[in-house]
Amino acid sequence: MDIYQAIILGVVQGLTEFLPVSSSAHLVFITQHLGLQQSVAFDTLLHLGTLVAVVGYFLKDIIELITSFISSIMDIFRGKFKEGLEETPFKKLTWLLFVGTIPAGFMGILLQKQFEALFNSVIYVGFFLIITGFLLWAAERVKPGEKDVKDISFKNALVIGVAQGIAIAPGISRSGATIFAGLFSGLNRELAARYSFLLSIPAIFGATLVQIKDITSFDANIDVLLCGFLSALIFGYLAIKLLLKIIKERTLMIFAYYCWIVGIAAILISINS
């Protein structure tokens, strides 16, 4: 792998990790197009770049979440846990994110081999991209909700968490699935997107932590690794900013059309090749 290939993969990972078009699907397509072998080690490095991007973008929220979580733990010993959740939105948000992370964790552990097998089939990836398009289409037809953090139930958090777990399948967009589930649960559009991004942090961190040992096994120059990491970080940051603006001011249908076109094209090319 050379520097230009590393940059291309980083740009694709950064943009598609947060835009609702499935990063896993695009990495499968791009690596095949460039004639590269799928590398768990390099994919992990790219995920680390997008993790830094989302943490950097929501750093103030993350600091507030950490301090609120510590305070919430103290509330347990003070016998004021429930009152704390009702009075402080960030305290409730920390536990909503904790509950929402559980389904993806279990699904990743129990179904890891089944999901990994799907990466070898472009037809499956294309099929799941088409499903992502329908999720985005449905998201635009859900009646806009008005729920704020204080109105989100732990049942809502589980529903969104299950959507994130399903997105382990290549072609199912994590952000698309969780935003759809958030809107379906009655969250307002901006909160659905922000909650989706915050929920991605433990998921990306967990996946990176599990595979971090593989980074040292990747045989490439440091400049290649650095270029891939930085391009994933920069374009991941830009993708977060772009999607928050789009979901607030415009429609997600452009991404639905994109997923349908790319998904159908992938299936047809795979069948005819």
23-55 pLDDT, tens digit per residue, is: 878 877 777 777 666 566 677 788 889 999 999
Residue type at position 150: K
- Look up residue 18 and give its two tokens: 């947060």
- Phi, psi dihedral angles at 173 (to 5 degrees): -70, 130
- Look up residue 25 and give its two tokens: 């699907």
Cβ-proximal residues to 37 (8 Å cutoff; 6+ apart), any chain: 31
pLDDT confidence of 179, banded at 50, 70, 90? very high
Residue in the block written with tokens 């639905």: 256
d(CA 183, CA 218): 40
Kindly report, residue by residue over 52-94, the tens digit of the pLDDT. Answer: 999 999 999 999 999 998 988 988 888 888 887 887 888 889 9
Residue type at position 2: D
d(CA 222, CA 82): 50
Please give the pLDDT value at position 242.
93
Rg (CA), the chain: 19
Share of the chain above pLDDT 70, in %: 89
- Phi, psi dihedral angles at 87 (to 5 degrees): -90, -30
* 53-62, 169-178, 243-252, range with greatest mean pLDDT: 53-62
Kindly report, residue by residue over 161-172, the tens digit of the pLDDT. Answer: 999 988 888 888
E strands along 220-261, which residues? none
User: Which of these, 92, 91, 109, lies nearest to 203 by C-alpha position?
Assistant: 109
pLDDT confidence of 234, banded at 50, 70, 90? very high
Please give the pLDDT value at position 114.
67
Are the C-beta atoms of residues 169 and 144 closer than 8 Å to each other? no
